[in-house]
């Protein structure tokens, strides 16, 4: 029998997840069906309960329900607990487990696909919202020498830092205008500024000469990517992270790790045509 999965969000029409999971399914021979479901803003829990009743095996969760999914789960994985948010729910016979594959997806895209180590590098994380929270711990696990969180609202960056246990990585929180004179090997944009095509007020000197500038958004050339490219940095969008977080969810559900590069190529070709 075909196992059913879905991605839940609002809005959801733009989601590439059904396409990605369909590709994983045919590549691995796993018999699954994956659809997108538009969930009313006040109807997340009711929708999840209904899907469980119907025999679905799990769901992915996107904006704006990742925190609600965290609260709904009977149990959460360590990485979901660290993020305080859930993007993957696993419907077991007796309970609902919440996981978060976003950070693993980002780290895998940077280290494996882009072949850039994070260990011993100077990393700048821009933003202190849900997207930044979701990737902070997995980034720290890779042991960068320095990780600075810069945010428009300084207090939110400071709060994120204060919640972290001490680690070998030097950690700091700052405002954008404190970044002058600092330079980073990897700069990750986890703000939502790209959604409105807004430029970030960060000095172009933050990018090291052959540094990596990674925008967690995908599908369009953001002002952040344009600025980074103009300074000679390697500007990359978040399509790889999108596919890798999906692959990690597929692995969690099915115990099989799909190949991601051909799927990235396929999704990229659809975006550019």
CA-closest candidate to residue 4, choices 57, 62, 48: 57
**Helix pair angle (130-141, 154-162), 10° resolution:** 40
Span of 15-23, 68-76, 121-129, 177-185 interacting with ligand ATR by CB under 6 A? 121-129
Q: Which of 60, 151, 227, 260 binds ligand ATR (CB under 6 A)?
A: 151
Return the biggest CA–CA distance within the chain.
Answer: 59
Span of 46-54, 71-79, 163-171, 193-201 interacting with ligand ATR by CB under 6 A? 193-201
Q: Is 128 in the site for ligand ATR (CB under 6 A)?
A: yes
Span of 17-25, 41-49, 99-107, 189-197 interacting with ligand ATR by CB under 6 A? 189-197
CA-closest candidate to residue 33, choices 22, 19, 48: 22
| Cα gap 78→83, rounded to integer Å | 9
Nearer to ligand ATR, 190 or 212 (CB): 190
Size of the site for ligand ATR (CB under 6 A): 15
Q: Which of 66, 143, 156, 163 is catalytic?
A: 66
In angstroms and rounded to an integer, the radius of gyration of the C-alpha atoms of the chain is: 18
Nearer to ligand ATR, 154 or 266 (CB): 154
**Helix pair angle (261-272, 239-254), 10° resolution:** 130
219 backbone φψ class: left, alpha, beta (φ>0; ψ -120 to 50): left
For 69-95, b where at least 16 C-beta lie within 10 A, e where not — what string? Answer: bbebbeebbebbbbbbbbbbbbbeeee
Closest residue to ligand ATR: CB criterion = 129
| Cα gap 46→42, rounded to integer Å | 9
Q: Is 200 in the site for ligand ATR (CB under 6 A)?
A: yes
Tokens of 231: 């300074």
Q: Which of 38, 78, 198, 256 binds ligand ATR (CB under 6 A)?
A: 198
Q: Is 159 in the site for ligand ATR (CB under 6 A)?
A: no
Distance of CA 205 to CAs 187, 208, 234, Å? Answer: 11, 7, 14
Q: Is 25 in the site for ligand ATR (CB under 6 A)?
A: no
Q: Is 156 in the site for ligand ATR (CB under 6 A)?
A: yes
Residue 156 bears catalytic tag: no
Q: Is 191 in the site for ligand ATR (CB under 6 A)?
A: yes
- Displacement of CA 190 from its chain's centroid (Å): 9
Q: Is 238 in the site for ligand ATR (CB under 6 A)?
A: no
SS3 245: helix
- Displacement of CA 97 from its chain's centroid (Å): 19
Nearer to ligand ATR, 70 or 91 (CB): 70
Q: Is 187 in the site for ligand ATR (CB under 6 A)?
A: no
| Cα gap 269→273, rounded to integer Å | 6
Q: Is 153 in the site for ligand ATR (CB under 6 A)?
A: yes
Q: Which of 130, 203, 219, 223 binds ligand ATR (CB under 6 A)?
A: 130
Nearer to ligand ATR, 198 or 256 (CB): 198
Q: Is 83 in the site for ligand ATR (CB under 6 A)?
A: no
Give me the active site residues, please: 66
Point out which residues bind ligand ATR (CB under 6 A).
Answer: 127-132, 151-153, 156, 191-193, 198, 200
């Amino acid at each position: 029998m075909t196992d059913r999965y879905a991605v839940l969000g609002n809005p959801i029409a733009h989601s590439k997840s059904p396409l990605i999971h369909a590709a994983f399914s045919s590549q691995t021979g796993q018999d699954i069906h994956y659809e997108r479901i538009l969930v009313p803003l006040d109807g997340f829990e009711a929708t999840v309960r209904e899907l469980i009743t119907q025999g679905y095996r799990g769901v992915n969760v996107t904006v704006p329900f990742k925190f609600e999914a965290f609260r709904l789960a009977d149990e959460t994985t360590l990485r979901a607990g660290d993020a305080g948010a859930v993007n993957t729910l696993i419907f077991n016979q007796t309970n609902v487990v919440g996981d978060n594959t976003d950070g693993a997806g980002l780290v895998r895209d940077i280290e494996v696909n882009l072949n850039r180590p994070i260990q011993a590098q100077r990393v700048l994380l821009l933003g202190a919202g849900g997207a930044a929270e979701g990737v902070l711990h997995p980034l720290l696990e890779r042991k960068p020498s320095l990780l600075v969180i810069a945010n428009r609202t300084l207090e939110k960056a400071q709060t994120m830092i204060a919640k972290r246990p001490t680690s070998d990585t030097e950690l700091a929180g700052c405002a954008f205008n404190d970044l002058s004179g600092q330079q980073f090997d990897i700069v990750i944009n986890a703000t939502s500024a790209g959604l409105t095509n807004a430029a970030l007020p960060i000095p172009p000197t933050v990018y090291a000469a052959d540094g990596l500038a990674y925008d967690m958004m995908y599908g369009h050339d953001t002002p952040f990517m344009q600025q980074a490219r103009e300074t000679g940095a390697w500007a990359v969008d978040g399509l790889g992270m999108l596919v890798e977080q999906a692959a990690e969810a597929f692995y969690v559900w099915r115990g099989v790790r799909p190949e991601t590069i051909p799927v990235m190529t396929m999704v990229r070709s659809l975006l550019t045509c």
